[in-house]
Amino acid sequence: MSKPLLVCLTAGVPALAMAEKSPWAPKITLETGYFNPSGIQDYGGEVSDRYYDVLLENQLAYLGYTYWSLDWHDIDKLPFGNGHDKPVKGLRGARIGGKFNHRINSKMLFLSSLGVSSKYEEQTDDSYSVNLRALVSYQLKNDVSLLGGLIYNYHPVRSRLYPAIGVAYRARSWDGLSAVLGFPRAYVAYGFAENWNISTGASYRQFMAKLADDSPVEEKGYVEIQTWKADVMLSYRASKNWRLDVFGQYSADYRFSFYNRHGNRQNQYQLDPSWGSGLKLAYQF
């Protein structure tokens, strides 16, 4: 149920590179990915995950939708649910928000986004959260910048505040070496030909989702997902407008916690590490 992190540390430098484009110019990204079956640590049962995501954005706003399709195995051995129905059929997520970027001076740039999202199994009531990203980029040298800020996810059941910190070297440059080392996303990339780039990285993600009203796990309850994921990606840029990414991914640490309808945490479980793959296609108008 993991999806690469799209914002935060790597958001700063691309805004500089995109300054020549109209801020209204839209970009659409389609992505799908898969993780092989993974067992519940210390228990029986397995789950595999396939996700589909579409994102429409420009420099001022974004709109996206995600669907996670879950396939459960040996349901009768799972430590949650009723032993015969799928404990969670699948999850949906919708998000919308705005972006604000402002150059403070010749060396400092402020970047932020504020949005509303909803992640749910079937019903959307009490599923909404507010998501704030705020980041300052300070240019030390032409190719090196320091990044610092915060990520705040407000949810009526459980809110989370995280730091966003890092050091960027030629971040998201297509040719040659580029890198961002920090949290919640770190990567190293190398452009080895005019149209080709290879990268590897790791990212952290957390979110809350509303369970179905008749959920066999917790009726009208919630599930919190926390993941650490690594990936290796090969990218092909057919033109300045088209980009295709093919990647392998490894879920190193995947935890999920169930909450009852009153917001009280019941149990936490961890999945065994799992491998997967994915495909992403983007077009910049």
154 in any annotated domain: yes
| Mean pLDDT, residues 250-269 | 95
Q: Strands 144-154, 61-73: parallel, antiparallel or unpaired by DSSP?
A: unpaired
Tokens of 271: 């999945």
C-alpha distances (whole Å) from 209 to each of 83, 178, 206, 230, 237 are 22, 35, 10, 23, 35
Q: Is the pLDDT of residue 14 over 80?
A: no
Share of the chain above pLDDT 90, in %: 91
* Domain residue limits at 61: 9-284
Q: Strands 128-139, 176-183: parallel, antiparallel or unpaired by DSSP?
A: unpaired
Q: Note every long-range contact of 165-168, with CB atoms under 8 Å and residues 24 or more positions apart, other chains counting.
A: 165/9, 166/9, 168/9, 168/10, 168/12, 168/13, 168/137, 168/144
pLDDT, residue 224, reads 96
pLDDT, residue 264, reads 94
pLDDT, residue 18, reads 47
- Of 204, 195, 205, 208, the C-alpha closest to 234 is 195
236 in any annotated domain: yes
How would residue 20 be classed by pLDDT, with cut points 50, 70 and 90?
low
Q: Phi/psi of residue 12, each to 5°?
A: -70, -55
Burial of 136 (0-12, 13-18, 19+ CB in 10 A): middle
What are the counts of helices (DSSP H) followed by strands (DSSP E) for the chain? 1, 15
Q: 204-225 in b/e burial notation, b at 16+ Cβ within 10 A?
A: bbebbbbbbeebbbbebbbbbb
70 in any annotated domain: yes
Q: Is the pLDDT of residue 213 over 80?
A: yes
3 in any annotated domain: no
Q: Is the pLDDT of residue 142 over 60?
A: yes
pLDDT, residue 191, reads 97
Give the total number of structural domains in the chain: 1
The Cα 196–Cα 174 span in angstroms is: 8
pLDDT, residue 123, reads 95
Q: Is the pLDDT of residue 3 over 70?
A: no
Chain segment 81-123, per-residue pLDDT in tens: 999 999 999 999 999 999 999 999 999 999 999 999 999 999 9
Tokens of 40: 């519940």
Q: Is the pLDDT of residue 4 over 70?
A: no
**Does the pTM exceed 0.75?**
yes
Are the C-beta atoms of 226 and 255 separated by less than 8 Å? yes
How would residue 172 be classed by pLDDT, with cut points 50, 70 and 90?
confident
C-alpha distances (whole Å) from 273 to each of 124, 222, 276 are 31, 23, 10
Chain segment 180-207, per-residue pLDDT in tens: 999 999 999 999 999 999 999 999 999 9
Positive or negative, the CA dihedral 82, 156, 32, 37 is negative
What is the rounded average pLDDT for all residues in the chain?
92
Are the C-beta atoms of 118 and 155 separated by less than 8 Å? no
pLDDT, residue 1, reads 52
Chain segment 41-84, per-residue pLDDT in tens: 999 999 999 999 999 999 999 999 999 999 999 999 999 999 99
4 in any annotated domain: no
34 in any annotated domain: yes
1 in any annotated domain: no
